[in-house]
Each structure stands twice: as structure tokens, then as C-alpha cells.
């Protein structure tokens, strides 16, 4: 299309009107001689394009924030990305055309029923000095990938042909309405002035004269190789010895393996160090590297993007609508195939990774591919493990607990794909070497009240009956009838009313402090059949912390929007503006809150992954943080409640395992043993 349509059209035209979903400055380089001739005749261009909005931008617009401010922020962010991607010459050409009054740009986006969408139409019109026009529509974006590397098509209508003329004029009329902001359901605004000035300044600094031209219109203008983005270790990062050891072990195993490293020990940076080493080795062989990072949740994708940027690469976020990321991914992969880009970095949620479009794209990657799987235990599920790319030569899994809970098949499949655990760093070693902070652990025994004890005894009896019928407590499926009863019993313990009083007593001594986390049980407090539904523990805690104790607190749950989560974490980092975050599961995996210093565990499942993740949140190092404090509230039935002793003893082992795991690495283990001693004696568990 470039050689056969765009270049000849530019050579003949004196005006160009283009409306397109995506535009990048690299497209100008492809037009080469055509643009040169067009510019020499004083040709002018009008461009309408969709801004690159991220989720935070969309959420701000839908909340009523000033649209122009959000668009300005998004446009500046896009320019900064392009400036880091070695297309400064193309940006300089844009700036020169703007400065000479020959290019005007507007931004279009969909606004319908209070929601923001992407403008994705693709139309264009060339006119010459005699008034003749050529109009076209088609699939191509005005990007390097869309114009050069993809398989695309356009429909072209010549204004002087009887069969084409009416259609060409209709397309031009559509563009005029769009430019005048008269198209229904679309908003069209001027290109932000601050971005315009930035491009003009860039044109002056780089002095791109003449406008890129070459005898071969298919050869793009490429920045010198020393400006091409590649992975580099940031100057401020001094890798720890164990991180170097982990990378070396992975490389010795042919670039495959699992890092089983305690939460908070820097798995992310260790993985990036491995990717950097690999990228440098491939670069010496003049081979590109495609890095695919998989994370279970969107906020973890955002964290990974920041980490990758620290290593000198701007990655593409792959989640939500494929219209946002697919053109960018295809363009960068095309550049890698043509030797224009040494590293392509993609960060995807598991959900987008599993989508048909991304799977199709992934299957076509022929360059060296490295998969980094964060919280990799999730990928062992039956839904994800068949989708792991077989064409990935290099594979790295990250998890503090790669073993899947009650899923040996999934664990085996995960290890088969990533090969084996090549490096392990236990929490005790991490604390000893100073990679994690030391901590104090205070278990609190809370007795169930009479109603809770009655419900607890009934559930325990039902559990005992199923065990007597041959069901195995140690290997029970969480979705089985026995698993359901165990879950209900766990909820009775987790939601015990007496925990609120114990929590209040502990929080009073920290009421002047910040950096506090409260982990609540999920859902409502269980009640006996026929009774009205029980209260929500999270609401009870918010009432206690925010109103009764008057601490600055906020909930942090699955329904909390992503932009608001970021804002809450920034407030929490001050230690003053927001003293307490009250969470329900959402602060388990991956959230980076190193300043957290006091944790209150009102409820934890018997799944070791959950309490290991929660402890890890609190043990990350931070300036001024000497140690962490963990309060763990364990509910137990009163001694006079008639319960099957052997069943209760076997169930209690699960609760005490968590307390023992927390206590044995704490600085006050002797205190933990003293608190738990009466319970161990009652149930003959002194040998634990």
C-alpha cells in the first residue's frame, strides 16, 4: 500500500485529510519521497486520531474530570513513550509540519451513555491543486506495523470516475463533519497545546532537514542503533548476592526453571536481571528478545510495567479491549522481525493471555520468546496450563509457594513446563540475611460465644460423620460436601464476634501510628438455619476503627476501582493521611506496600499460600522500618462445649500449624509457645 498508493498520492496531492484509530510518527518515514514532494509544494495535512487512553484516563473521564486535562495527560504520556522508542526523527518531522502551519491534529473519542470508547474508523482523502480527489477507507492504522508489516487492504474511490465520485465525496463529507465535531456520539477536540509545543520544540532541537527522503520508499528512517531501547540494569540497583545466584542457576539450566523465593525478597527484580542478561546475550548474536510477563491481576500488571520501565523498556500492557493493545503489539513484533527493535516487552493479565486473539498472536512469534510467570501457581489450573506457549525457549516461574493446594496434577504440570525449581530462598534465610525485616508475633485466643459454639459443634459433628464414612480430611476437595462443611466451620472461627474486642484492645496501643493493615474474613458471619443473615465483618471493623477509635481508615476490597486503589496506596505510604487499610483478600498477592508495619489477621484460610502471602506483605523492608508486628486472632470453643475430641483435635492441628509457622521465625517465639500451651495441653498436641 505504501509504494503502490500512499507515495504516488502524496506526490500528486496538495492536501491530505486522515481519520484513523491509531497514528505513530514512524508512518511518516515510510512515505519518504512522497512526503518530501508533498512538503515542497506546500501541502497541508489534517489528522484525526484516537488518543491512547489507559484505564485510569477512562475512569477519570467517566467520573467527570476535565476531559481536556485527561487528554493532555494521555497525549504527553504517548509522546514520552515514542521519545523512548527511538523515533525522534519522525516526531521531529511532525513538529516541523506543525510549526510551518501545514499539519493540524485533533483527537476523537466515543462518548455514549456516560462511557468512553475508542474511535476506530479509518478514512482518508487526498486532493490536488486542480480539485480532483481520491478517498479511501480500509483496515490499516497509520502505524509502521499497519502500513508495512501487516496484511491489510483499502478501498479506493477516484473522484473523476462516475462510479466512484459520489462515494468519494461522501467520505470527504464524513471527514468534514468529524473535523467540525458534528458526528453523533463522537467528541473531537484540538490537540493539546502543551503537546503541540513539545513537538515544535523537538523539531527545533533536532532540525530535521530535509524531511526524510530516500530513493526506496519502503525503507523506514531508523534512529542509530545506540539509541534503540534495550534492557539495562538501572544505575541505582545493586543486585543482592542471592539474586545473582538465582540468575546464574537459571542460565545454567538453559534459561528455564522456577524461583521459589519468599514473598518480599525481590522476585520481580531478580526476573528482570535474568531477562537483561538474556537480552544482552541475544543482542550479541543480533537476535531480538520477546519478553512476555504474565500476572494474575491488572494492578500487578501496572506494577510490572513500572519495574520494566526501570530497566529501560516501555512495555505494552495487555488487558481489557484488544483494540487498545493489539495494534501496538503487532507493530513492535513486526519491528523485531525486521531487526528494528532488540526487545519487545508485553505484560498481560492471565485473562487476556488466555484470550483467542492473544493466543493466536503468540503462536506466530518466531523470535526468541521468554515467558515470566508471576504468582505462577495460578497457571497450574486446568484452564491455563494448556495455553502456556510451547514456542517459548526461555521460561521463568516466580512464586513463594509453587505447590498448588490440593492439586498435585496442576503442580506437576507447572513444574513440567518450567522444568524444575532452580533456586529457593526460604523466609528464615531471607530474614537472617536482612532481605526481609524481623517481626514480633502475638497470637490471641478468642473464645466463641454460646450461639457460635452451638453452630460450631453441629458442623464438627457433621464433619465427624463424613470422616467416619470414609472421607479423608487431609485430601478433601474444597468443592466436596466435606470441603463445604470445613469452609463453614472456618467461617465460624474467622467471624467470631469476640475478635472485635480483642482487635480494639490491640489497636488502642497503635492509635497514633500509621502503616496498619487489617485482614477481614470474607462474606458474612455464619448463622444457624432459619436465622437472619449475620453481619459483614469488614463493616464492623470499619465502624470500630474509623468511628470508635477515630483512626484514618479506608476499605480495600475487590470492588475498589483500580484508580482508587492507586490513590489509597499513595495515601497509605504517607503514614499519616491514611493510617489503616481494612482489606478482604485484595492485599494478598503481589501488592507492593513495603511501609506496612502492623498487621491484624482476623481470618485466614488453612491454605498456607494465603497466610504466607499476608506475612510477606508485612516483612518487606522500607526506610525507617526496624521490625513488623503481627497480631493473629485464633477462635476456639470453650472447654465445656461437647465436641468429638478426635475430630476436633485433627481440625485444630490446621489452626496451630499456621500459628507455629508464624511464631517459629518471630523474635518472641517463647511468648507464642506460652500463649498456645493451654490449647495444646487440652488437645494433647504438645509434640507439635
For residue range 573-612, what is the model confidence (pLDDT) as tens digits?
Answer: 888 889 999 988 766 555 678 889 999 999 765 555 667 7
Residue with cell 526461555: 394
pLDDT for residue 93: 62
- What residues make up the domain containing 383? 240-432
| Same domain, yes or no: 178 and 293 | no
The closest of 94, 93, 91 to 79, measured between CA atoms, is 91
Angstrom distance (rounded) from CA 337 to CA 149: 9
Q: Domain end: 395, 414, 432, which one?
A: 432
**In this structure, what is the dihedral angle of CA atoms 526, 528, 533, 538, given to the nearest 10 degrees?**
-20
| Same domain, yes or no: 417 and 443 | no
Asked whether the predicted pLDDT for residue 175 surpasses 80, the reply is yes
In a domain, 390, yes or no: yes
- Grid cell digits, residue 526: 455464619
> What is the rounded average pLDDT for all residues in the chain?
81
| Same domain, yes or no: 471 and 535 | yes
Instruction: Evaluate whether 305 touches 317 at the Cβ level (below 8 Å).
Output: yes
In a domain, 375, yes or no: yes
In which band, very low, low, confident or very high, does the pLDDT at 23 lie, cut at 50, 70 and 90?
low
Q: Domain end: 386, 408, 432, which one?
A: 432
- Grid cell digits, residue 453: 459454639
Q: pLDDT (tens digit, 9 = 90+) per residue, 420-445?
A: 999 999 888 989 988 899 999 999 99
pLDDT for residue 151: 67
In a domain, 220, yes or no: no
Pairing of strands 421-425, 256-261: parallel
Omega cis (within 30) before 77? no
Residues in the chain: 688
| Same domain, yes or no: 171 and 256 | no
The closest of 71, 83, 72, 77 to 25, measured between CA atoms, is 83
In which band, very low, low, confident or very high, does the pLDDT at 614 lie, cut at 50, 70 and 90?
confident
What are residue 600's DSSP bridge partners? 518, 631
In which band, very low, low, confident or very high, does the pLDDT at 453 lie, cut at 50, 70 and 90?
confident
| Same domain, yes or no: 467 and 419 | no
The mean pLDDT value for 348-370 works out to 92
| Same domain, yes or no: 423 and 545 | no
In which band, very low, low, confident or very high, does the pLDDT at 289 lie, cut at 50, 70 and 90?
very high
| Same domain, yes or no: 132 and 267 | no
pLDDT for residue 494: 87
In which band, very low, low, confident or very high, does the pLDDT at 559 lie, cut at 50, 70 and 90?
confident
Q: How far is CA 548 from CA 215, 511, 536, 603, in A?
A: 77, 11, 17, 21
| Same domain, yes or no: 409 and 499 | no
| Same domain, yes or no: 447 and 413 | no
The mean pLDDT value for 635-640 works out to 80
**Highest mean pLDDT (candidates 26-30, 260-264, 440-444, 601-605):** 440-444
pLDDT for residue 55: 62
Asked whether the predicted pLDDT for residue 283 surpasses 80, the reply is yes
Q: Domain end: 167, 186, 209, which one?
A: 209
Percentages (nearest 5) of helix, strand, coil residues in the chain: 45, 20, 35
The closest of 168, 200, 195, 158 to 51, measured between CA atoms, is 195
In a domain, 233, yes or no: no
| Long-range pairs, 99-103, Cβ under 8 A, ≥24 | 99/200, 99/203, 99/204, 101/44, 102/39, 102/42, 102/43, 102/44, 102/45, 103/44, 103/45, 103/46, 103/47
The percent of residues above 90 in pLDDT, for the chain, comes to 31
More confident residue, 673 or 271: 271
In a domain, 184, yes or no: yes
| Same domain, yes or no: 259 and 359 | yes
339: three-class secondary structure by DSSP: coil
| Same domain, yes or no: 289 and 307 | yes
Range with the poorest average pLDDT among 72-81, 246-255, 486-495, 596-605: 72-81
In a domain, 227, yes or no: no
| Radius of gyration of the chain from its Cα atoms, rounded to whole angstroms | 30
The count of domains in the chain is 3
Instruction: Evaluate whether 38 touches 162 at the Cβ level (below 8 Å).
Output: no
In a domain, 164, yes or no: yes
In which band, very low, low, confident or very high, does the pLDDT at 85 lie, cut at 50, 70 and 90?
very low
In a domain, 539, yes or no: yes
Angstrom distance (rounded) from CA 553 to CA 575: 11
What is the number of H-type helices and E-type strands within the chain? 25, 21
pLDDT for residue 30: 52
Kindly report the CATH number assigned to the domain that includes residue 312. Answer: 3.40.50.300
Helix (H) or strand (E) holding 468: helix 450-468
- HEC assignment per residue over 656-681: HHHHHHHHHCCCCHHHHHHHHHHHHH
| Same domain, yes or no: 415 and 465 | no
Q: How far is C-alpha 627 from the chain's CA centre?
A: 29
More confident residue, 649 or 635: 635
Asked whether the predicted pLDDT for residue 406 surpasses 60, the reply is no
Asked whether the predicted pLDDT for residue 321 surpasses 90, the reply is no
Kindly report the CATH number assigned to the domain that includes residue 168. Answer: 3.30.870.10
Report which DSSP code applies to 231.
-
Amino acid at each position: 500500500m505504501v509504494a503502490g498508493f500512499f507515495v504516488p498520492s502524496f506526490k500528486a496531492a496538495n492536501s491530505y485529510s486522515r481519520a484513523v484509530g491509531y497514528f505513530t510518527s514512524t508512518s511518516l518515514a515510510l512515505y519518504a519521497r512522497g512526503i518530501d514532494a508533498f512538503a515542497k509544494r506546500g501541502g497541508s495535512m489534517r489528522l484525526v486520531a484516537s488518543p491512547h487512553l489507559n484505564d485510569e484516563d477512562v475512569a477519570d473521564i467517566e467520573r467527570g474530570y476535565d476531559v481536556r486535562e485527561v487528554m493532555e495527560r494521555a497525549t504527553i504520556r504517548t509522546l514520552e513513550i515514542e521519545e523512548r522508542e527511538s523515533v525522534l526523527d519522525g516526531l521531529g518531522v511532525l513538529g516541523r509540519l506543525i510549526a510551518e502551519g501545514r499539519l493540524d491534529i485533533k483527537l476523537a473519542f466515543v462518548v455514549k451513555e456516560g462511557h468512553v470508547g475508542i474511535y476506530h474508523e479509518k478514512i482518508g482523502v487526498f486532493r490536488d491543486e486542480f480539485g480532483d480527489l481520491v478517498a479511501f477507507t480500509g483496515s490499516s492504522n497509520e502505524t509502521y506495523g499497519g502500513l508495512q508489516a501487516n496484511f491489510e487492504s483499502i478501498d479506493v474511490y477516484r473522484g473523476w470516475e462516475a462510479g466512484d465520485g459520489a462515494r468519494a465525496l461522501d467520505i470527504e463529507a464524513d471527514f468534514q463533519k468529524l473535523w467540525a465535531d458534528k458526528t453523533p456520539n463522537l467528541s473531537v477536540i484540538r490537540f493539546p497545546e502543551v503537546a503541540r509545543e513539545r513537538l515544535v520544540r523537538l523539531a527545533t532541537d533536532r532540525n530535521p532537514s530535509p524531511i526524510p527522503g530516500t530513493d526506496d520508499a519502503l525503507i523506514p528512517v531508523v534512529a542509530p542503533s545506540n539509541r534503540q531501547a534495550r534492557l539495562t540494569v538501572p544505575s541505582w540497583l545493586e543486585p543482592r548476592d542471592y539474586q545473582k545466584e538465582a540468575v546464574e542457576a537459571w542460565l545454567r539450566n538453559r534459561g528455564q526453571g522456577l524461583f521459589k523465593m519468599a514473598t518480599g525478597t525481590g522476585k520481580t527484580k531478580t526476573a528482570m536481571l535474568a531477562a537483561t542478561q538474556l537480552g544482552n546475550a541475544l543482542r550479541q548474536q543480533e537476535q531480538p528478545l520477546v519478553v512476555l510477563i504474565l500476572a494474575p491481576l491488572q494492578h500487578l500488571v501496572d506494577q510490572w510495567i513500572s519495574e520494566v520501565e526501570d530497566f529501560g523498556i516501555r512495555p505494552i500492557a495487555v488487558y481489557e479491549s484488544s483494540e487498545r493493545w493489539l495494534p501496538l503489539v503487532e507493530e513492535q513484533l513486526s519491528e523485531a522481525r525486521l531487526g528494528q527493535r532488540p526487545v519487545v516487552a508485553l505484560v498481560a493479565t492471565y485473562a487476556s493471555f488466555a484470550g483467542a486473539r492473544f493466543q493466536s498472536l503468540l503462536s506466530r512469534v518466531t523470535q526468541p520468546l521468554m515467558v515470566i510467570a508471576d504468582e505462577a501457581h495460578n497457571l497450574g489450573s486446568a484452564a491455563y496450563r494448556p495455553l502456556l506457549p510451547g514456542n517459548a525457549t526461555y521460561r521463568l516461574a516466580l512464586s513463594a509457594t509453587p505447590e498448588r493446594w490440593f492439586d498435585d496434577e496442576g503442580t506437576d504440570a507447572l513444574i513440567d513446563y518450567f522444568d524444575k525449581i532452580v533456586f529457593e530462598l526460604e523466609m528464615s534465610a531471607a530474614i537472617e540475611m536482612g532481605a526481609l525485616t524481623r517481626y514480633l508475633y502475638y497470637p490471641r485466643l478468642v473464645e466463641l460465644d454460646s450461639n457460635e459454639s452451638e453452630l460450631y459443634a453441629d458442623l464438627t459433628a457433621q464433619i465427624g460423620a463424613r470422616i467416619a464414612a470414609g472421607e479423608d480430611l487431609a485430601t478433601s476437595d474444597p468443592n466436596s460436601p466435606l470441603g463445604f462443611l470445613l469452609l463453614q466451620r472456618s467461617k465460624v472461627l474467622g467471624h467470631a464476634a469476640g475478635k472485635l474486642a480483642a482487635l480494639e484492645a490491640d489497636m488502642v496501643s497503635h492509635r497514633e501510628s500509621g502503616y496498619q493493615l487489617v485482614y477481614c474474613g470474607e462474606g458474612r458471619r455464619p448463622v444457624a438455619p432459619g436465622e437472619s443473615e449475620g453481619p459483614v465483618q469488614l463493616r464492623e471493623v470499619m465502624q470500630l476503627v474509623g468511628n470508635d477509635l477515630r483512626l484514618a481508615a479506608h476499605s480495600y476490597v475487590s470492588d475498589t476501582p483500580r484508580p482508587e486503589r492507586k490513590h489509597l496506596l499513595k495515601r497509605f505510604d504517607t503514614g499519616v493521611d491514611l493510617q489503616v487499610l481494612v482489606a478482604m483478600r485484595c492485599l494478598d498477592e503481589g501488592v507492593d506496600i513495603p511501609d506496612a508495619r502492623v498487621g491484624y489477621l482476623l481470618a485466614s484460610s488453612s491454605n498456607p499460600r494465603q497466610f504466607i502471602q499476608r506475612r510477606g506483605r508485612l516483612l518487606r523492608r522500607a526506610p525507617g522500618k526496624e521490625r513488623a508486628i503481627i497480631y493473629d486472632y485464633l477462635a476456639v470453643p470453650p472447654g465445656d462445649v461437647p465436641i468429638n475430641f478426635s475430630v476436633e483435635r485433627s481440625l485444630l492441628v490446621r489452626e496451630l500449624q499456621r500459628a507455629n509457622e508464624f511464631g517459629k521465625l518471630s523474635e518472641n517465639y517463647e511468648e507464642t509457645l506460652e500463649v498456645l500451651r493451654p490449647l495444646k495441653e487440652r488437645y494433647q498436641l504438645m509434640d507439635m
